[in-house]
């Protein structure tokens, strides 16, 4: 992605060139939306978060450090906005199983590496709402986006030990809830 983003375009955008910024948004919009949607699992909220992210990028483009990949900077802004959004939803107790239906689980590292049972994935999607917003974000970054711990630390600003422990507890909680759900469903049959 960053190879596509021309440094001239970034420099022009930093000099308040609105056309250059428009091109920058066009080049990174889908990338930004995909990330927000994975975190939030709601199309409208993901679009709002992406719009807010680009507003923040525009307001702070002059502080962008070209030594850091632009997409990494954008990623961090989106993660922070998603985390704030998840916390707000948690406070409102807004989550429903339907609101989590858009999560796309790439279970590369989770449990048996490759879960083919769609019912199991559906259950996991509904259970993710039970963990804290911080753990949700870290869970998505690690298990869905397949970012390593160092990348997650860079993107979130969290300390390595904090990231590892939250991922560990999120995974344990998910496994525990998943086991209870599987046992419950097997009793119903």
* Fold of the 1-94 domain: Rna Polymerase Sigma Factor; Chain: A (1.10.1740)
Residue 52: the pLDDT is 96
Query: 1-94 and 97-189: same fold?
Result: no
SS (H, E, C) the chain: CCCCCCHHHHHHHHCCCHHHHHHHHHHHHHHHHHHHHHHHCCHHHHHHHHHHHHHHHHHHHHHCCCCCCHHHHHHHHHHHHHHHHHHHHHHHCCCCCHHHCCCCCCCCCCCCCCCCCHHHHHHHHHHHHHCCHHHHHHHHHHHHCCCCHHHHHHHHCCCHHHHHHHHHHHHHHHHHHHHHHHHHHHHHC
Band (pLDDT 50/70/90 cuts) for residue 67 is confident
Residue 7: the pLDDT is 80
In percent, how much of the chain has pLDDT > 70? 76
Annotated domain spans of the chain: 1-94, 97-189
**CATH 1.10.10.10 is right for the domain spanning 97-189:** yes
For 149-189, write each residue's pLDDT tens digit.
999 998 888 999 999 999 999 989 888 887 777 676 555 55
Residue 30: the pLDDT is 94
Residue 79: the pLDDT is 92
Residue 100: the pLDDT is 45
Average pLDDT, the chain: 79
Do residues 170 and 135 touch, judged by C-beta distance below 8 A? yes
Residue 32: the pLDDT is 93
């Amino acid at each position: 992605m960053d190879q596509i983003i021309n440094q001239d375009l970034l420099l022009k955008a930093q000099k308040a060139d609105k056309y250059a910024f428009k091109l920058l948004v066009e080049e990174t919009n889908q990338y930004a939306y995909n990330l927000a949607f994975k975190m939030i699992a709601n199309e409208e909220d993901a679009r709002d978060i992406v719009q807010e992210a680009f507003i923040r990028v525009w307001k702070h483009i002059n502080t962008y450090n070209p030594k850091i990949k632009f997409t990494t900077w954008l990623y961090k802004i989106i993660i922070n906005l998603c985390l704030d959004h998840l916390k707000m939803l948690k406070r409102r107790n807004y989550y429903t199983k339907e609101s989590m239906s858009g999560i796309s689980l790439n279970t590369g590292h989770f449990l048996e590496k490759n879960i083919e049972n769609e019912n199991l994935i559906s259950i996991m999607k509904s259970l993710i709402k039970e963990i804290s917003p911080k753990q949700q974000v870290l869970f998505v970054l690690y298990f869905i986006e397949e970012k390593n711990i160092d990348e997650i630390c860079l993107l979130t600003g969290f300390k390595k030990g904090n990231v590892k422990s939250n991922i560990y507890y999120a995974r344990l909680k998910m496994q525990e809830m998943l086991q209870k759900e599987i046992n419950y469903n097997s009793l119903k049959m």
